[in-house]
Structure 1
Amino acid sequence: LLKMDGKYTGSTYFKLEDRDYPQWTWTYGASFFFAFTLYSTVGYGSISPSTDAGRIAVILYTAIGFPCALIIIRDIGSGFLVYITRFYAGIVKRIRKLSGYSSHANEAIMIPMNVAFIISFFVVLAT
């Protein structure tokens, strides 16, 4: 089916058939897919090392890369939290200003739990 659609060539499942022994190709896309399945711990298993040295290298690579990926995800989440909180605080300040409520410059404005749940719900739906 992949051959008929023309999506087989260059895909993760493409083999070099014109050799004495068929060999899987290793493209940038296939390597990115492999690294992503390692870091996200999804582990589809469609691509895996076949030698013991390759398996040991993947274990070491994941032992270093997975914590780094978690740190990056945490930092991205913290950045989103800052921008969403600033956006929400700006809306609250405008509403208070229009309604005549006086607010202090140092007043902490936090996102209510129901708004946080709604944002989380849409983030989960988007992914």
Structure 2
Amino acid sequence: MTEKVNLVKLNADQVALAKKENGERKKITHAVVCGDYGQMFGTEKQCEKYFSAWSHIFPYLFSGGQKLKNFEFESYKTTPELVMVLIDAHDPLEKAATDRKIASMSKPAPQKGAKKKGFLARLLGI
């Protein structure tokens, strides 16, 4: 199941809470929210970079992105090593999809115009 990457413009109260959690000296105006995987806080320019890339880099996790002005956070703490969290979640899904694709390619395709052999012919190998 895929969800969307969210770029959130924080209001003044949210900026204050995010700075309290992540460091008063940090420049925080926006957040990138990746569902259950986590979130990061930063400037619009910093967050826009990740927002724009992650829906393409992690297609098995995200089906695009959306920009939001209203979002309710459970926590204002940046997820440590968020990129690694996303990689660890995405790679097994990508591998499974690749394995399924390879398995479907290894089955011989039926030949067009070929007459299908009956049971007895297949049994006798003729």
Higher relative contact order (CA 8 A, sep 6+): 2
Q: Given the two structures, how large is their TM-score scaled by the length of structure 2?
A: 0.32
| TM-score with structure 1 setting the length | 0.32
Q: Which has the higher strand share?
A: 2
Give the helix-richer structure, 1 or 2. Answer: 1
